[in-house]
Structure 1
Amino acid sequence: MTPLARCSPALFAWLLCGTLDIVYAMLWSVLAGGSVGGMLRGVAKGPFGDGAGDWGLGGALAGLATHYAIMGAMVAAWFAAVRQLPALARQPWWLSGTLYGLALYLVMNALVLPLRFDTPFPPADLVKGAVALFPHIVFVGWPLAWLTRKDNR
């Protein structure tokens, strides 16, 4: 365990999950023919409006900050849930992490994105839906559940 993980588990989880998730998004953006900057400016459009897409480096940095702010809320919600429901941390990490990742996916893709960008849910393209579900489970839910697991190592 790293010194940061021992000192501040929530901070470590936030940095780990946030970094895993954004690296995935960056790679996926490039593989899909886009750019990292364009993807980050797209994230910035959520809270800052469509004009953020024209902000250049500033828009990309705003998108990165937005991403980590959202990830902070996701991590904080998990730590609060584990504190309120300690049995959650005693479940198999892969199960509780999968369920939490699925819940995050549903909040983001069935609520937040349709309200802000009028995106359809469920997505018409199931591959795009799976691409969006994967990181919520593997890069957020699983690491959080692994880091907070109790008696199920």
Structure 2
Amino acid sequence: MRKSVAVVVAGLVAGALDIVAAFASYAAQGATVEGILKYIASGLLGASALQGGMAMAGLGLLFHFCLTTAMAAVFMAAALRLGALTTYPWLWGSVYGLLTWVAMVYVVVPLSAVNGWQLPHGWNIVSGLLSHIFYVGVPIAHITRHALRPRAA
């Protein structure tokens, strides 16, 4: 698998797993799928995104997949420089998932246009960490490992 294809596949797989987990987690708290996606769009477009319709929700989904594909690209770039990242995908994927969660919570979302955002607490920390480890970091690491493994001659 070509590296660029692997990045896109990893971004799509991680994005799909993560967004389904977000839908399940936040729906349990009363949110709707459309509302979750508009909230994601509001990260770039501000509070006005929350008043949009399904097109705005679609834009939120696109933004989400752009973020997870960027996460996959960063891991691929790191793995090309540090080959050890592909030797233990469960370990390094877990570490990377933790790092992506920290980056999202402490850098990306606070710098975004989201209104009224607060640091997660309680169960939201646990579910966010587990989601980023098992649905973002580990799949990205496994797909990257597959893409970079030596080919038989």
Aligned equivalents of 2:47 and 2:118: distance in 1?
18
Aligned equivalents of 2:43 and 2:80: distance in 1?
30
Identity of aligned residues (%): 34
Deviation at 1:120, TM superposition (A): 4.3
Q: What is the CA RMSD across the aligned residues, in angstroms?
A: 1.8
Task: Name the residue aligned to 1:139.
Answer: 135
Deviation at 1:24, TM superposition (A): 1.1
After TM superposition, the score normalised by the length of structure 2 is: 0.85
Aligned pairs, how many?
Answer: 143
Deviation at 1:29, TM superposition (A): 2.3
Within 5 A, what are the aligned runs for 1:4-153?
Answer: 6=1, 8-90=5-87, 92-116=88-112, 117=114, 119-121=117-119, 123=120, 125-149=121-145
Give CA deviations for 1:1-22 in whole Å, capped at 9, x if unaligned.
Answer: xxxxx46222221211111111
Aligned equivalents of 1:46 and 1:35: distance in 2?
17
Aligned equivalents of 2:138 and 2:50: distance in 1?
32
List runs of 5+ in structure 2 lacking aligned partners.
none
CA 1:119 to 1:52, structure 2 compared with 1: closer, same or farther past 3 Å? closer
3-state SS in 2 of match to 1:34: coil
The letter of the residue matching 2:68 is M
After TM superposition, the score normalised by the length of structure 1 is: 0.85
Deviation at 1:83, TM superposition (A): 0.8
